[in-house]
Chains A and B, each alone.
Chain A
Amino acid sequence: MPNQSRIRLDRVTKRWDATAAVDNISFDVTPGQFVILLGPSGCGKSTTLRMIAGLEEASDGRIHIGDRDVTRLPPGDRGLSMVFQSYALFPHLSVADNIVFGLRSRKVPKAEQRERLAKVAELVDLTAYLHRKPAQLSGGQRQRVALARSVISEHPICLMDEPLSNLDARLRSDMRREIKALQSRLNMTVIYVTHDQVEAMSMGDRVILMQHGQIVQDGTPDELYNRPASAFAASFIGSPAMNLLPLVAGEHGAVIESEPSTPVAPRDAAGGQLGIRPEDIDLRPADAPGVPATVLSDEYLGADTIAHLAVGDHTLRVRLSGRHAITGQPCRIGWSPGAAHLFAADGLRRDDLAAYDLPPTTAPQSNSSVDASHADTRHSQLNPQR
């Protein structure tokens, strides 16, 4: 019954004394979904997960799994498994005993235990390590044991609490793919807590972004990236983060504060913020149309370069593909109207206004206009190729 793994939170709240760690949140997870709970530390995402698991009791609201109200049920009766950040492996038990620990608790017959163990060990590639103790394993292997332990239970739901944060960067990207593959292969419903937006974007079918115990945005990674619901969501997703510039009223519309020469949005947008992703900004020669800016510095990262630009009193980050050595040069910047996001004074997205068009220059600019003095930077060009 696929419906068994539907998870529904209805106005769930967790209070510690007077402060609400989780404040009245509701969402509904459909079976087979990979849902990410994303947010900065202290936003209540782990507490939410632990309430679903039954490790914390909800102060208010109801939690349903399948057709059952599990709000007051003990963790073992909820039909779910969990992977902990620290893996929570039993240090005195071998890998095999760790994996079948839950089956023994549930008094599964020995023969079936062996059968399931063999299958799962194969699945997570641990067959050669079954007799070892956790201390004799690498971080990635311990992570696999923890995964195996939740897979072998054959619960349709798996909760994961920052499972990759103890691994190094390279292993992390491998494990991301493995977890995602495992999830789709076994058709598990996964709720995955992380503060890492890369994990959220790459693994999630759906991302629930939280701040101060409340849901800021609930949507697909694509929606979060392309239509952030608030300035917070905009700044949390993407690396480097979206540029947010305060807008004030100017002569012909709202202008970027301390840069009054170029109106960028209708006057009603003044008081709010303009958001543009670093990769959406066009860098143009100083004589082209656009907002005047000066390049403060550039960081070369291999595949691309992050340039820091001064616009009025503000600093903007621009992502340029390839290598550019353009520090100190004056230039202008522009963007297509679809790439500019407007946020109201309270931080919420506003779609009633559209940013002004700062049209991309029609003909590709010759490199000579700005770059002439930098003969040594052959790859440099101010019009990033995208």
Chain B
Amino acid sequence: MTLTAHGKMQLYGALLLLPAAVLLAAFAYLPTIMTVINSLFLPGFRGEPAAFVGVENYQVLFDDPTFWKVARNNLLYALGTIPTSIALALGMALFVNGKLPGRGFVRMAYFTPTILPMIAAANIWMFFYAPQIGLFNKLLGALGFSGVNWLGDPGVALGSVIVMSVWKEAGFFMIFYLAALQSIPPELKEASDLEGTSRWSFFRRVTFPLLMPTTLFVLINALINAVRVVDHLFILTKGGPNNATNLLLYYVYENAFSFFDRTTAATITVVILLVLAVVATLKFTILDRRTHYQ
């Protein structure tokens, strides 16, 4: 068989794409499909074949009060971390983008939490939060307040986890904002200064709109991170007390590897994927239209 020039080019292009396609298929698409299939079956006992049960697994999941508690926790976690870390990142980026002495040092200091491995960071925060010897309770004690059981009190524990996540993530998002800020030509500020535009007005009318592509990118990342939390829960609370800090992915982990209930784990995973897909689509369709790309 002889190939035409066009056919050769097609083959050439396909071969170039092959390595990435194989890796993606093996580690992303195939597991996704397997998960979807798993979520539709009940495993057989003692060598019996798995039984197809349709959406029954989902019905069981939606009747599970723990799932709803975990989902609610995760929603609170997302609402607590995403806006705060983004606002903090933007504020820090604006601060270190200005003229200030020791700017390089401050930038590095803000970025340090990102470099730390999550396990290490969580261990550090364990010492901050520890009930008797912890830093926070020591400080409160010095001021004459009684200490709080930061990770043990069901009403406070989720908040404590949120604070740590914000601390860890804000520096990472700051880097993106800083890069975007530095790509804004300084003449824009000068031109608006000549018109007597106030700093706030300049931020609202020029800086923020020009940062929208970055904000969108950071927003998606923050959302993905919000449902990707396993490691610091593992160190800090193990999802306790009484599931007060249990989040979706940790719940998946528990189901899969503590309760060995692969089916429930797969079902929750599919739900997470669907929710993420819907939210990401909404973001890109609604926010993209109002975003200026250079």
- Which residues of A does B touch, CB under 8 Å? 53-55, 74-77, 80-82, 84, 86, 88, 90-92, 101-102, 104-106, 133, 135, 149, 153
Contacts and interface: CB of A to CB of B under 8 A. Distances in A.
Given A88-B185, A102-B195, A75 B294 contact: no
Interface stretch (B14-22, B74-82, B186-194): B186-194
Given A86-B185, A92-B210, A105 B192 contact: yes
Contact of A106 (B187, B190, B195, B210): B195
Given A86-B185, A86-B187, A105-B201, A91 B193 contact: no
Q: For this complex, into which size category does the number of interface residues on chain B fall?
A: 20 to 34
B175 to A, nearest CB: 22
A106 B196 contact: yes
Nearest to B294: A91
B196 A88 contact: no
Interface string B205-221: 11001101000000000
A82 B194 contact: yes
A149 B190 CA distance: 14
Nearest to A155: B194
Given A80-B194, A92-B292, A105-B196, 14 more contacts: A53-B190, A55-B193, A75-B194, A76-B195, A76-B196, A76-B197, A77-B196, A84-B187, A91-B292, A92-B209, A102-B192, A105-B192, A105-B198, A149-B191
Contacts of B201: 105
Contacts of A74: 193, 196
A133 B201 CA distance: 21
Nearest to A82: B194
A53 B194 contact: yes
| Most chain B Cβ neighbours within 10 Å, of A53, A90, A133, A135 | A90
B197 A88 contact: no
9 contacts: A55-B190, A75-B193, A84-B187, A92-B212, A104-B205, A105-B196, A105-B201, A133-B292, A153-B195
Nearest to A90: B206
B195 A88 contact: no
B187 A88 contact: yes
Nearest to A87: B187
A149 B193 CA distance: 13
A328 to B, nearest CB: 53
B188 A88 contact: yes
A299 B195 CA distance: 50
A104 B192 CA distance: 11
A76 B210 contact: no
Interface in B143-158: none
A75 B202 CA distance: 15
A153 B201 CA distance: 18
A335 B196 CA distance: 56
B210 A88 contact: no
A101 B195 contact: yes
A88 B193 contact: no
B210 A105 contact: no
A80 B193 CA distance: 11
4 interchain residue pairs of minimum CB distance: A76-B196, A102-B195, A92-B292, A88-B187
Nearest to A159: B194
B208 to A, nearest CB: 10
Contact of B190 (A75, A91, A133, A135): A75
Contacts of A102: 192, 194-197
Contacts of A149: 191
A135 B210 CA distance: 14
A76 B194 contact: yes
A84 B195 CA distance: 14
Nearest to B195: A102
A218 to B, nearest CB: 26
A82 B192 CA distance: 10
Nearest to B187: A88
Contacts of B205: 90, 101, 104
A84 B197 CA distance: 17
Contacts of B194: 53-55, 75-76, 80-82, 102
A49 B210 CA distance: 28
Nearest to B201: A105
Nearest to B291: A92
B126 to A, nearest CB: 45
Nearest to B202: A105
| Most chain A Cβ neighbours within 10 Å, of B191, B205, B212, B294 | B191
Contacts of B190: 53, 55, 75, 82, 84, 88
A67 B244 CA distance: 70
A102 B198 CA distance: 11
Interface in B232-284: none
B209 A88 contact: no
A82 B40 CA distance: 68
Contacts of A82: 190-191, 194
A280 B195 CA distance: 48
A91 B192 contact: no
Contacts of A133: 292
Contacts of B187: 84, 86, 88
B250 to A, nearest CB: 41
A204 to B, nearest CB: 23
B192 A101 contact: yes
A1 B197 CA distance: 25
A383 to B, nearest CB: 53
Contact of B197 (A55, A92, A105, A135): A105
Contacts of A54: 193-194
Contact of A76 (B188, B193, B294): B193
A101 B292 CA distance: 17
Nearest to B209: A92
A106 B193 CA distance: 11
B267 to A, nearest CB: 44
A82 B194 CA distance: 7
Interface string B93-131: 000000000000000000000000000000000000000
